[in-house]
Structure 1
Amino acid sequence: MHKLFFKIQIDAPPEKVWDVLWSDMTYRQWTTAFTEGSFYMGTFEEGSIMKFFDPDNNGMYSSVEKNIANKEMKFLHLGEIYDGVETVQDWGEATEDYILEETPTGTILKVEIQTPEEFKSFFEEKFPTALGIVKNLSENQL
């Protein structure tokens, strides 16, 4: 398991950054960095299951481990979805944690990921682009 860290300063309040991260419309925009046409199904309530899809309805499902509005969202990735079939994966503690820290000029968005070797280079390549889109949306949308 690899632990990856990403961080970006955003000149917008945490509430705005949070909204960009988790609102359906803007989620679809910033996740184009990973796969064009990405979307989710479910609710972000702690303990609930979220499903994350590509345009072909394949993807992964995760448990919402923590949801503290405007501060932290943490997922535990449980398995994959292909052709509508959920398959549990032995990823151990594969987590994705979004942490927002308010600063005098806005927000520091930190992402901490624990990932198996097979996804490490993908995240290292794609996450900086994704966070740049989150920054742009947060700073420039009404």
Structure 2
Amino acid sequence: METLSFNIKIYASRQKVWDVLWTPESYETWTKFFACNSTMQSDWKEGGITYFYSGEGDGMISTIESLNEPQEVIFKHLGMIKDGKEDTESDEVKAWSGALEKYLLFDLDGITQLHVEVDIQPEYAEFINKGFDQGLAMVKHLAEK
């Protein structure tokens, strides 16, 4: 496992950036660089369940490790959904189960510094780098409108 980090300055409030990240319509817009028609379902509770879905219905099962809106959310990935079935036990899943995905928003005198850290398997580094580079540029665009 390796950790990738991303930073972007956004000329908008933390709450506006938070809303762009997690409101369903804008979430689908900025995550299209990972998978078209992506959605998420969450109870937005620490220790609760969050599902991240691709347009095909496959995805990830996660929990929220830490939540402090609009400053921080940390997801812990627990398993995957494939062909409608949840998997938290296979060797494939165990190789990355427990990986964290952190979104930290810092207020710099009205400018938001968005910092993202994501634990990944090295073979996905290029895909994740490209997705976050394009996705966070879209978050910036949407938040600064």
Do the two structures share a fold, i.e. TM-score over 0.5? yes
Report the equivalent of 2:138.
133
Report the equivalent of 2:78.
78
Question: Considering only aligned residues, what root-mean-square deviation do their CA atoms show, in Å?
Answer: 1.1
Give the drift of 1:42. Answer: 2.4
Structure 1 length normalisation: TM-score?
A: 0.94
Deviations 1:108-128 (A, max 9, x none): 000011112232221112111
Give the drift of 1:92. Answer: 4.3
Structure 2 length normalisation: TM-score?
A: 0.92
Measure the CA separation in 2 of the matches of 1:132 and 1:81.
28
1:32 aligns with 2:37: no
Measure the CA separation in 2 of the matches of 1:65 and 1:28.
23
Measure the CA separation in 1 of the matches of 2:57 and 2:63.
18
Report the equivalent of 1:106.
111
Count of aligned residue pairs for this structure pair: 140
Structure 2 residue ranges without an equivalent (≥5): none
Give the drift of 1:21. Answer: 0.6
Q: Which 4+ residue blocks in structure 1 deviate beyond 3 angstroms?
A: none
Give the drift of 1:39. Answer: 0.4
Structure 1 residue ranges without an equivalent (≥5): none
Report the equivalent of 1:5.
5
